[in-house]
Amino acid sequence: MARKKIDTNISYDDRRGCYYVYMDYGQDETGKRSRKYKTFPTLSAARRGLRDYHVERDANRHIVPKSLTLYDWLRYWMNEVIAPNRAKTTLYGYWKIIENHLDPALGDVPLQKLTPLDLQSYYTMLIRDKHLSPNTVRRHHDLLSASLHMAVRQDVIPRCPTERVEPPRVIPPEICYYTPDELKDLYALVEGTWLEVIVKLAGCLGLRREEICGLRWDSVDFTLRKIHICQARTAAGAMIVEKETKTRSSARALYMTDELYRMLKRERAKQRQNRLALGPKWNECGLVAVDRKGNPYSPNAISLAFTRFIRKHNLPSLTLHGLRHTFATVASAQGAPLFDIGRALGHSTPSTTGRIYTHLLDQTHADTLHRVAAALR
């Protein structure tokens, strides 16, 4: 004997010894009727499952099964949700993660069948087999979390599987910087070279490399001795992108010291001479950081050139971004408050500065304790 009807939408299979609950999900995206059966070991469990189904249906929380794969959804999310609201560099980074990792590993998984176990195994594979860092894998998790939460909000899946996984813990990067004496040695070595402008803008003002590459002469006010940081020039793969600064707080006006004033005056005079010498071969782009023909430097090129310069002169290992850290550390050592350092760096809040430069807080804490001890003595 096969199944026999017990209640409305409930039948019993005496061969398998289980109860079947029939659930009608309406029409799918193709107009085809979507039906589903669930099995339960007991009649009471089957009735409870049917009640839950009715409650969910009455509350309009039903998710109609769709044939969408994870890659299909990510492509929709990127094109319709992310692309209109993010910078090209952000889009480039997201697509790299999707095309190089997510699609090959999970792209064919039906979106509504994607489980926390799938995601946990994916994170483990990236770390164990692909040798990606936990911080990099965390970016994969953040991308998945944002896209799948949108799928929940658009009634494509009932709940987000990323809420039930353990993503890799973010490991704070080691902050490397120079001491004042090491910075002086570097300044002496780069003086007169094409790297001088780049190194001193990073070390004296704490500028990001994208801000240095995007700095224009019309943003340099020699009369008021101010440098206005309002544009960035960055790389998205092989494509160079000119955009506004990283955040609204990143747009700022910084004071020009005597050293910076003289250096930028010399650089502008040198560029004028090159323009006269080259004539139509000179590329008038209006940027401060350019080569002898007026062509702007790419951010990746100046980072690589700086690293090679450091190695060539046997200086302590440091990246170009490390000069930004050096500026913050030296400023703190000279008594500058964390709030003022953050404003100079273009951070959105003082907490951002404190989170990145925890060693500055350690120094401030030590100074405070010494002052308290001195007062008690």
- Residue 301 sits in a domain of what CATH number? 1.10.443.10
Is 296 found in the same domain as 269?
Answer: yes
Is 321 found in the same domain as 221?
Answer: yes
Is 86 found in the same domain as 39?
Answer: no
Is 259 found in the same domain as 325?
Answer: yes
Instruction: For residue 377, tell me if it sits in a domain.
Output: no
Is 209 found in the same domain as 153?
Answer: no
Nearest Cα neighbor of 108 from 70, 161, 148, 67 is 70
Is 226 found in the same domain as 155?
Answer: no
Is 192 found in the same domain as 93?
Answer: no
Is 114 found in the same domain as 90?
Answer: yes
Give the chain's end-to-end CA distance (angstroms, integer).
Answer: 95
Instruction: For residue 173, tell me if it sits in a domain.
Output: no
Considering its fold, how many domains does the chain have in total? 3
Rounded Cα gap, residues 185 and 201, in angstroms: 16
Rounded Cα gap, residues 343 and 359, in angstroms: 18
Is 53 found in the same domain as 75?
Answer: no
Instruction: For residue 376, tell me if it sits in a domain.
Output: no
Instruction: For residue 170, tell me if it sits in a domain.
Output: no
Is 312 found in the same domain as 188?
Answer: yes
Q: Which residues pair with 241 in a beta bridge?
A: 234
Instruction: For residue 348, tell me if it sits in a domain.
Output: yes
Taking the model in full, what pTM does it have? 0.71
The β-bridge relationship of strands 18-27 and 10-13 is: antiparallel
Q: Domain boundary residue among 97, 130, 164?
A: 164
DSSP secondary structure code for residue 79 in this structure: I
CATH number of the domain to which 84 belongs: 1.10.150.130
Is 87 found in the same domain as 12?
Answer: no
From residue 176, alpha-carbon distances to 59, 179, 184, 212, 365 in Å are: 55, 10, 16, 20, 20
DSSP secondary structure code for residue 357 in this structure: -
Q: Which pLDDT score, from 0 to 100, does residue 65 have? A: 61
| Buried-exposed string 46-68: b where 16+ CB fall within 10 A, e elsewhere | bbebbeebeeeeeeeebeebbeb
- Tell me the residue range of the domain where 158 lies: 70-164
Is 327 found in the same domain as 265?
Answer: yes
pLDDT tens-place values along the chain, 377 residues long:
577 888 888 888 888 888 888 887 666 656 676 677 888 888 888 888 888 877 766 654 555 566 789 999 999 999 999 999 888 888 999 999 999 999 999 999 999 999 999 999 999 999 999 999 999 999 999 999 999 999 999 888 888 999 999 999 988 778 888 999 999 999 999 999 999 999 999 999 999 999 999 999 999 999 999 999 988 888 777 777 777 776 666 788 999 999 999 999 999 999 999 999 999 999 999 999 999 999 999 899 999 999 999 999 999 999 999 999 999 888 887 878 778 888 888 887 766 666 666 555 555 545 654 555 566 66
Q: Domain boundary residue among 136, 164, 192?
A: 164
